[in-house]
Amino acid sequence: MTSASLIPVERSPTLARLRGYTLEELAAVARAGLVFHDQGRTDEARALFAGLTAVNPADAYAWRILGVLDLESGDREGARRAFDRAIALEPGAGAAYAGRAEVHLAMGRVDRARADLRDASRRLEGSDPLFRKVAALLAHVRDPAEPTQLSRARSRQ
């Protein structure tokens, strides 16, 4: 996880705007949360990212990381809700679809996972390491009725 994203602040009244938090302050909290995560302090990391989503509900990045942390801690429903929110805020970002696909896989919802993996693969750059993970997962959950590249090539011969 990285804190490379810019943290947008909604135009409507939010705690971030009402309290005058700067983007730099919010980014510092996100970086601290990532450090906690890297140290295995998932509860503290989760508390910081939950706080970020409360302070600035328009922060798709914070919602996505909260989804990751919820999934790691076993809260699948919380993770799904967090990824849903991240997707609603930033529908063009493939990482949230990939995260929600992992939630669906953990819940045994293979068809939903497959759909999210397809959405993620359409939104991610081929050079993104997450793209390779998504491609591998998608190959693993491929619909048996769906032809593989090999079978398509054979049928053209």
pLDDT digits (tens, 9 = 90+) for 67-112: 999 999 999 999 999 999 999 999 999 999 999 999 999 999 999 9
Higher pLDDT, 68 or 56: 68
Residue 115 zone, left/alpha/beta (φ > 0; ψ -120 to 50; rest)? alpha
For the chain, what are the domain ranges?
1-90, 100-157
Do the Cβ atoms of 66 and 82 come closer than 8 Å? Answer: yes
CATH architecture, domain defined by 1-90: Alpha Horseshoe (1.25)
The rounded distance, in Å, linking the Cα atoms of 70 and 79 is: 5
User: In whole angstroms, how far apart are CA 115 and each of 80, 121, 156?
Assistant: 14, 10, 27
Confidence of residue 9 (pLDDT cuts 50, 70, 90): very low
Q: Is the dihedral of CA 41, 124, 87, 136 positive or negative?
A: negative
Q: For residue 35, what are the CA distances in angstroms to 39, 118, 141?
A: 6, 31, 33
Digit-coded pLDDT (tens) for 131-140: 999 999 999 8
